[in-house]
Chains A and B, each alone.
Chain A
Amino acid sequence: MHEDKYVEIFNLVKAYPNPYGDDIKVVDGFELNIKKGEIIGLLGHSGCGKSTVLTMLAGLNEISDGGIIVDSREISGPGPDRSVVFQSPCLLPWLTAYGNVMLGVERVFKHATKAQRKVIVEYSLSVVGLADSMHKYSRELSGGMQQRVGIARAIALKPKVLLLDEPFGRLDSLTRMDLQDVILGILDREKITTMLVTHDVDESIYMCDRICMMTNGPHAKVGKLIDVDFQRPRVRSEMIEHPKYYDYREQILSFLDECELEKEKIAKQKAKVA
Chain B
Amino acid sequence: MSIKYKILKAIDVAGLNFLRPVILLCYGEEPEEQIRKIGLFIAVPIMAFCLFLYLWGLFAPMHKTKSGEVPTPSVVWDSAKGVWAFHVREKNKANAYNLEGDSRDKLLEQAQTRLSELEPMVARVNEQLAEADGAMQSSLASKIEPIKAELDSSKNAMREAQKARQADLQARAKAIAADDTAAKEKLLEDYRAHLAQIETERESLRSYEEQIDEIHNADFPQRAEAIRAQSAIAEERQYLVKLIDTLENNRQQKLSDIETRLEGFESSYYEASGADLLKHAKSITRTESLMVNAADSEYAKPMTLPDQVLRSVACVFAGFLVASLIAIPVGIVCGLSPIMMSALTPFIALFKPVSPIVWLPIFFIIVGGFIPDPDKHWLIAGLAELPLIGWMKINPAFIASALTVAMCSLWPTLVNTALGVASIDKDHINVARVLRLGFWSRLIKIVIPSSLPLTFAGLRISLGVGWMVLIAAELLSSSEGLGKFVWDMFNNGSSQTFAQMFVVVFVVGIIGLLLDRIMIVFQRLVSFDESPTSI
**Once bound together, how far apart are the Cα atoms of A86 and B434, in whole Å?**
11
For residue B428, which residues in chain A have a CB less than 8 angstroms away from its CB? 90, 92
Flag whether A80 is at the interface (Cβ < 8 A). yes
| Interface residues contributed by chain A, number (CB under 8 Å) | 23
Residues of B within 8 A of A131 (CB): none
Interface size for B (C-beta < 8 A) is: 19
Q: Which of B436, B441, B530 lies at the interface centre, i.e. has the most chain A CB atoms within 10 A of its CB?
A: B436
Residues of B within 8 A of A88 (CB): 427
Among B430, B445, B450, point to the contact of A90 (Cβ < 8 A).
Answer: B430
Which residue of B434, B446, B450 is within 8 Å of A60 (Cβ)? B434
Q: Report whether B450 and A80 are in contact in the complex, using a CB–CB cutoff of 8 Å.
A: no
Does A107 belong to the interface (CB within 8 Å)? yes
Beta-carbon contact of A86 and B427 below 8 Å:
yes
Using known A-B contacts A90-B428, A139-B528, determine if residue A58 contacts B449 with beta carbons closer than 8 Å.
no
Cα A139 to Cα B529 in complex, Å, equals: 7
> Which chain A residue lies CB-closest to B526?
A94
Q: Which residues of B422-480 have CB atoms within 8 Å of chain A's CB atoms?
A: 425, 427-428, 430-431, 433-437, 441, 445-446, 449-450, 452
> Taking CB as reference atom, which chain B residue is nearest A90?
B427
* B314 to A: closest C-beta gap in Å: 32
State the CA gap A58–B436 with chains docked (Å).
12
Q: Does A103 lie within 8 Å of B435, measured CB to CB?
A: yes
Least Cβ distance of B382 to chain A in Å?
A: 39
- Best-surrounded residue of A88, A93, A108 (most CB of chain B within 10 A): A93
B449 engages A107 (CB within 8 Å): no
- Is residue A104 within 8 Å, beta carbon to beta carbon, of the partner chain? yes
A79 touches B434 (CB 8 A): yes
The reply to whether A84 and B434 form a contact with Cβ atoms under 8 Å apart is: yes
Residue-wise interface mask of A (90-113) relative to B, using a CB-CB cutoff of 8 A (1 in contact, 0 not) = 101111000000011001100000
A84, B434: Cα distance in complex, Å: 8
User: In the complex, what distance in Å separates the CA atom of A260 from the CA atom of B143?
Assistant: 109
C-alpha gap A254/B192 in the complex (Å): 122
B426 to chain A, nearest CB (A): 9
0/1 string, A232-272, CB within 8 A of B gives 1: 00000000000000000000000000000000000000000
Residues of chain B within 8 A (CB-CB) of A59 are 433-434
Contact B446 A92 (CB under 8 A): yes
Does chain B have a CB within 8 A of A52?
no
Report whether B431 and A92 are in contact in the complex, using a CB–CB cutoff of 8 Å.
yes
A80 is contacted by which of B434, B445, B530 (Cβ under 8 Å)?
B434
Q: Is the CB of B430 within 8 A of A86?
A: yes
Does A223 count as interface, using CB distance less than 8 angstroms? Answer: no
Chain B interface, DSSP helix/strand/loop, else mixed: helix
On chain B, the residues within 8 Å of A230 by CB distance are: none
A78 at the interface (CB under 8 A from B): yes
Across the interface, which residues of A come within 8 angstroms of B436, CB to CB?
77-80, 107
Establish whether residues A92 and B449, one from each chain, have CB atoms under 8 Å apart when the complex forms.
Answer: yes
Whether the pair A90, B449 counts as a contact (CB closer than 8 A) is no
CA distance A104 to B441 in the complex (A): 11
Interface positions of A from 51 to 86, Cβ below 8 Å from B = 58-60, 77-80, 82-84, 86
Contacts A93-B529, A94-B528 hold; do A83 and B427 have CB atoms under 8 A apart? no
Minimum C-beta distance from A143 to chain B (A): 15
B435 touches A90 (CB 8 A): no
- Asked if A137 is at the interface of the complex by the 8 Å CB criterion, the answer is yes
Query: How far, in Å, is A8 (CB) from chain B's closest CB?
Result: 21
Contacts of A103 in B (CB 8 A): 431, 435, 445
Which residue in chain A gives the minimum CB-CB distance to B430? Answer: A60
Write out the residue numbers on chain A whose beta carbons fall within 8 Å of the beta carbon of B445: 92, 103
What are the residues of chain A within 8 A of B441 when measuring CB–CB? 107
**Complex Cα gap A78–B431 (Å):** 10
Rounded to whole angstroms, the CA-CA distance of A90 and B425 in the bound complex is 9
Of all chain B residues, the one with the shortest Cβ separation from A104 is B435
Establish whether residues A58 and B528, one from each chain, have CB atoms under 8 Å apart when the complex forms. no
Report the separation of the CA atoms of residues A236 and B360 in the bound assembly, to the nearest whole angstrom.
Answer: 77
Q: Closest CB-CB distance, B529 to chain A, in whole Å? A: 6
Quote the shortest CB–CB distance from A160 to chain B (angstroms): 13
- For the complex formed, measure the closest distance between the CB of A222 and the CB atoms of chain B, giving whole angstroms: 25
Q: Shortest beta-carbon distance, A51 to chain B, in Å?
A: 13
Please provide the 6 A-B residue pairs with the shortest distance between their CB atoms, ordered closest to farther: A90-B427, A93-B528, A94-B449, A94-B528, A78-B433, A78-B434
Residues of A participating in the B interface, judged by any CB pair closer than 8 Å: 58-60, 77-80, 82-84, 86, 88, 90, 92-95, 103-104, 107-108, 137, 139
Given contacts A84-B434, A95-B449, 6 further A-B contacts (CB under 8 A): A86-B427, A90-B428, A103-B431, A103-B435, A104-B434, A107-B441
Q: Interface on B for A, CB 8 Å cutoff?
A: 425, 427-428, 430-431, 433-437, 441, 445-446, 449-450, 452, 528-530
- 20 A-B pairs within 8 Å (CB atoms) are namely A59-B434, A60-B434, A77-B436, A78-B436, A79-B434, A90-B425, A90-B430, A92-B428, A92-B445, A92-B446, A92-B449, A103-B435, A103-B445, A104-B434, A104-B435, A107-B437, A107-B441, A108-B435, A139-B528, A139-B530
